[in-house]
Amino acid sequence: MLGDCTVVVPTIGRPSLDVLLDALAAGRGPRPAALVLVDDRPAGPPLHPDRPGLPPVRVVRTGGGGPARARNLGWRTASTPWIAFLDDDVVPDPDWYEQLDADLRDLPPDVAGSQGRVRVPLPEGRRPTDWERGTAGLATSSWITADLAYRRAALAAVGGFDERFPRAFREDSDLALRVMGTGGRLVRGQRWITHPVRPVDRWVSLRVQAGNADDVLMRRLHGPGWRDRADAPLGRRPRHLAVTAAGLAALGLAAARRPRAAALAAAAWAAGTAEFAWARIAPGPRDRAELTTMALTSAAIPPLATWHVLRGVVQHRRGTPWRGLPDLVLFDRDGTLVHDFPYNGDPAWVRPVDGAAEALDRLRARGVKVGVVSNQSGVARGIITAAQVRACMDRLEELLGPFDVVRWCPHGPEDGCGCRKPAPGMVKDACTALGVDPARCVVVGDIGADVDAATAAGAVGVLVPTPVTRRAEVAAAPRAAETLAAAVDDVLWGRW
C-alpha cells in the first residue's frame, strides 16, 4: 500500500525538521514511494535531507508562498494515488509507517482522507503556559494536516489548498469542508505522531490574532454554520468585541467631556480585560514573566482581534470559491509558443515568442504539468515530412522544455480525423496520458480552433490573439488574454 503513497513535508528549515527526518529514517515497516520536502523559505542554503533509511527524497522550492502553496506544490509534484502530509515540527512514532499502511489499506472509495492521531506533551512539575495549552488543543482538533493523508484525486477535484489562507491556520479545515462537500468522507486512523510545543517569544499570542481574518474568509466560503462542521468553537470573539467597544466608548465619552459616562465605560473595559487576563492566568504558572505577559497581552488582544476581523471583512468581501491551479496547461505551438512560420520544417526557424520560457517555468515551479498540442497539416499536404515535424518538436523541447506531453496531428482538414483541432482528440489524449480530468485542463492558443478543441474536450480554452487572429474568433472566445504571460498570470491566480 505505501508504494502508492508519497509523504509531503512543507518546511521553513526549522531545527525540528532534522528530528522529523531522523524519526522517518529510523521508522519500522515499508517505505512510501517518495518523500517530498517543500522548502518554503524565500531564500537560504539548500536542505540536506539525505539519511539512510529514508524513502527516495525530492526537494522542491516555493520561494516563500506559505503553507497552503507549499503543500499544493508538494502534492502536484507527486504522482501516487495517496499523499500523506506531515508538518516539519512533528515526530512520528516508530511504527508510523506500519500504521499508515494499515490505515490506508482497503479503504472504501468514498473515503477521501485519513487523519492521524496527535499527542502534545506538556511539562511535568508545573502548570502549562497559555501557549502550551493552546498547542495542546491540536490533540483534539479535526482534520489538521500535521498528519493527514488524502487521495490525490480528492485534492485535484477541489484544487488543493486555498492559497488565500496565508498562514498555518484554517487552510486545512477549509480543504476538509470542500472535500466533504464533494461527498468524500474523512476518517481517523490509528497512527500516532508527537507534536512538541514549539518555543516562542512572549508576544506570540498577539501575532496569532491575524487568524481572525481567516475566520471571516471561512464564513464567506462556507456559510454561518462552518464552525460546527469544522469543529471550530467560536471562542471569545464576542467578548473581545464588547471589551473593545467599551474601551472606544470610554475614549469617545472622555473626549466629549462626559466624565461619568466615560468612567462607567472605562470600568466595563477594565472589568472585561481583567476577566480575560484571569481566565488565562488561573490555569497557568504564576511566575513573574508569565503574569506580566498575560496582563499586557490581555489588554492588547481584544482590540487586535477586532481589528483583524474588520480587516477580513474588507479583504474577503467577495469570498469566491477556490478553483486552485489546473493540473495541466496545453499550448498550441505555432503562433502561441513560437513565432508562426507556415508549414515550418526547419528547426532553425523554431523561435520562441517573448516571455514563453518564463511563462512555462512559472507553471512548472507551481507543479502544473505543461504540454503541446499542434496541428501539422503540412504533412498531409506533402509540404513537410513527419521527420521534419519531429525535428522541430525536438528543437522546441530544447528551447522551452521539458514538456510532460506532446501531441501533434499530421492530418488535413478534409481527412475527418478526431485529433485535428477543433476536434478534441489531442486534448483528450494528452489528459488521458497524464491521468488528468479534462475539467482540470487549460488549453492556450491563438485561433478559435484551439478554444473549440478545449471546449469539445471538456477543458477550458484561453485565446491569446495575434495580428492574424480573426476578429470573430476574438469576439467569440469566452476567455482571452493579451499576451502569453497574461494568460499564465490568470491561470496562476485561479482565473480560468
Determine the average pLDDT of the residues in 280-285: 95
CB neighbours of 186 closer than 8 A, spacing ≥ 6? 111, 112, 113, 114, 115, 143, 176, 179, 180
**Average pLDDT for residues 438-467, to the nearest whole number?**
97
Task: Using alpha carbons, select from 449, 443, 454 the residue that is nearest to residue 481.
Answer: 443
Percentage of the chain beyond pLDDT 90 is 94
What is the structure's pLDDT at 44? Answer: 86
Residue 322: predicted pLDDT: 92
Catalytic hit among 40, 89, 162, 334:
334
CA separation (Å) from 57 to 22, 188, 207? 13, 27, 34
349 DSSP 8-state letter:
G
- CA-based Rg of the chain, rounded to a whole angstrom? 27
Tell me the DSSP string of 199-218.
P--TTHHHHGGGHHHHHHHH
334 catalytic residue (yes or no)? yes
Tell me the per-residue pLDDT of 36-94, one tens digit each, with 9 for 90 and over.
999 999 988 888 898 999 999 999 999 898 999 999 999 999 999 999 999 999 999 99
- Give CATH superfamily name and number for 2-200: Spore Coat Polysaccharide Biosynthesis Protein SpsA; Chain A (3.90.550.10)
How wide is the angle at C-alpha 326 spanned by C-alphas 61 and 473, nearest 5°? 130
CATH number, span 328-492 = 3.40.50.1000
| ∠ Cα 230 236 240 (to 5°) | 135
Average pLDDT over residues 14-32: 95
Q: Is the per-residue pLDDT at 484 higher than 90?
A: yes
Answer for the pair 276, 304: CB distance below 8 angstroms, yes or no. Answer: no
Q: Does the structure show a pLDDT above 90 at 494? A: no
* Whether the predicted pLDDT of 103 surpasses 90: yes
Strands 185-194 and 91-92: antiparallel
Facing residues of 232 across strands?
A: none
Give dist(CA 401, CA 356) in Å, integer.
11
**Is 366 strand, coil or helix?**
coil
DSSP letters along 418-472, please? SSSTTSSHHHHHHHHHHT--GGGEEEEESSHHHHHHHHHHT-EEEE---TTS-HH
Q: Catalytic: which of 39, 103, 327, 332?
A: 332
Average pLDDT score over the chain: 95
Q: Strands 328-331 and 111-119, how do they pair?
A: unpaired
369-375 β-sheet, strand order: 405-409, 369-375, 328-331, 441-445, 460-463
The label of the residue with cell 467569440 reads 476
CA distance 336 to 183: 39
pLDDT, residue 58, reads: 95
Distance of CA 8 to the CA centre of its chain: 12
Torsion of the alpha carbons at 140, 141, 142 and 146, rounded to the nearest 10: -110
Tens digits of residue pLDDT in 213-237: 999 999 999 999 999 999 999 999 9
Q: Is 174 a catalytic residue?
A: no
The packing angle between helices 259-281 and 237-255, to 10°, is 150
pTM over cut 0.75:
yes
pLDDT digits (tens, 9 = 90+) for 310-359: 999 999 988 889 989 999 999 999 999 999 999 999 999 999 999 999 99
Quickly list H helices, 338-415: 356-365, 386-400
pLDDT per residue as tens digits for the range 254-279: 999 999 999 999 999 999 999 999 99
Domain extents in the chain: 2-200, 202-321, 328-492
